[in-house]
Structure formats: structure tokens, C-alpha cells
Amino acid sequence: MPELPEVEIVRQSLNKKIKGKIIKKILVKNRNLRFKIPNNFEKFIKNKKIKKVNRFSKYLILIFQNNSGCIIHLGMSGTIHLIGNNASNITNASFYNDPILPIKHNHIEIKFKNLRLIYNDPRRFGYFLLFKNNNELEKKFSRFGPEPFSSLFNINYINKYLKNKEKNIKNFLLDQKFISGIGNIYANEILFLCKINPKKIAKKLNSDEYKKIIYYSKLVLKKAIQKGGSSIRDFKNISGKEGFFQKDFNVYQRKNLKCLKPNCKGFIKKIIISNRSTFFCNICQK
């Protein structure tokens, strides 16, 4: 599943491609996604002009000129494709990829002048949600924690949230109610740089470790965005370009390899936490 950096790359690319364009026609071939596409979907978005494409956490947000809009979540296998008049497939927006667009999984098609946006999703875990105004949009994300880049993600917030909590810190980094946008890949990398063992119980963290979590969460995600995200399996952005942050992985998918920190004699171990692969150095991370 794409994490915050990958979705941000898609957002940036989409914003360049469809910002300012008017939706001319909508074709819904399959309403049965994770949440059923509402019957008023076509009427709601037809003739709307795209004011901009935003993002919150792992969600794309199409903002229309009247501040209504549409939230898109890609799920496990959802991809967004833009096809121009020459019918060339130039996009991919998740880890799933096929050089030939599998037409049978094209569930939604949004037509602009000289351009079509296609939502393709073999596993159908993605979804589209409509909102009428900013209040409705904020309400849909009201149960989410702040993003790592937000000023709300600070020491006081972390201390208040994690105080007396018995759950391990890895699970908290994946908990969207605590912090929005971090997934398994980046949680592993953040904890490595923090020198924190992923199994460490949250209430045992100190203020210095809080500072490290804040600092390295921002650093890792910013660096991943700059490098186009992580191409695990076949992630590509909306222009068909692969990300290459995976070349900077310190622990993820490096089981049994030597720790990359200078003078460390440790090796990267793999364990399972809450059914997720977890990688960490057996020496560095305490």
C-alpha cells in the first residue's frame, strides 16, 4: 500500500496534470469498491472544475471550485492512470503495476477535455468519498492524528498520547489515530535512525526519544518525497517514473545483512509485529 511519500508524489503529479480542468463526463463501471460508489456520484462531480489536488495522510483529495470535492484512497492495489488523445498509458499510482492496463479492473473513468483519468483496482480495497464543504472534509478526518509535518506533532502531544500506554512504539507509529501517514516501510526506517527497538513499550520512552521520533519522522518522509517514494514491487508516479528511496533503506528488507551504521557490529533482524514485517538492528536499537 502506498504510504504518505508515494501518495504525495502522485498528488504533485496529478495537480500538474488536472488542476484547472473541468470534468466533462464520468463512467462508473463497478460501484462495488471497499465502500460502494454512491448513486449521485456522477451528478455530483460532473462539470466541476478542479481547483487543486490536496493530500492528507495517505488520501488524495480533489478540491472543486465550490470547495466540495472527492477523497480517493488507493487501498492495496488501486492505481490512477491518465490517458491522453494518443491513448498511451503514462501513469501508475501504487505498488501494483502492469505495462498493459488491465481493462477489466477499470472501475471509474473521469473525462476531461483531451484527457481521461482512470481508476483501476484489481482487489477493490480503494474507495471514493464525496464531501460538500470544508466542514464535511474536516469531519471525515476528525479521528486521525496529526501528520508528521504538522506543528501539532510535538513533545507535549506525544507525551500525553503515549503516557502509560503498554503497546509497543512500532504499533503506535502505524496507528493513524496517533500519527497520520506513516506505514510499515517508513516506521522501520524511522525507528532505526532513532535507535529505538520497535518492541519497546511506549510508556518507557523518554523526552529525548520523543524528540528523535519527531525529527526523524520528518526527515525520513521528506527525503522519501524528494527521491520520488519507494518503488517496492512497481510503484511509479503519475508520469511513469519510479521512486528510488528504496536505495537508501537502512533496515527494510535487509534481513541478516550487516548494520550500515559506522562501527556497529550488529545485523538486521526480522520479526513479525501485528502481522507486519519488522526490521531492526540487534545492536543499535535498544
Active site residues: 2-3, 58, 276
Evaluate whether 84 touches 115 at the Cβ level (below 8 Å): yes
The amino acid occupying position 28 is V
User: Which residue reads 506513516 in cell numbers?
Assistant: 182
Of 158, 128, 132, nearest to 145 by C-alpha is 158
Evaluate whether 199 touches 282 at the Cβ level (below 8 Å): no
User: Which ranges constitute the DSSP H helices of the chain?
Assistant: 4-18, 41-45, 134-140, 155-162, 169-174, 184-194, 207-226
Burial of residue 38 (CB within 10 Å: 0-12, 13-18, 19+) is: middle
Show the beta-strand stretches assigned E in the chain. 25-28, 50-56, 59-64, 69-73, 79-84, 106-112, 115-120, 127-131, 268-273, 276-281
**What gap in Å lies between CA 247 and CA 47, rounded to an integer?**
43
**What gap in Å lies between CA 2 and CA 22, rounded to an integer?**
27
Of 14, 70, 67, 11, nearest to 45 by C-alpha is 70
Of 281, 278, 184, 280, nearest to 232 by C-alpha is 184
Dihedral (CA of 20, 116, 234, 189) sign: positive
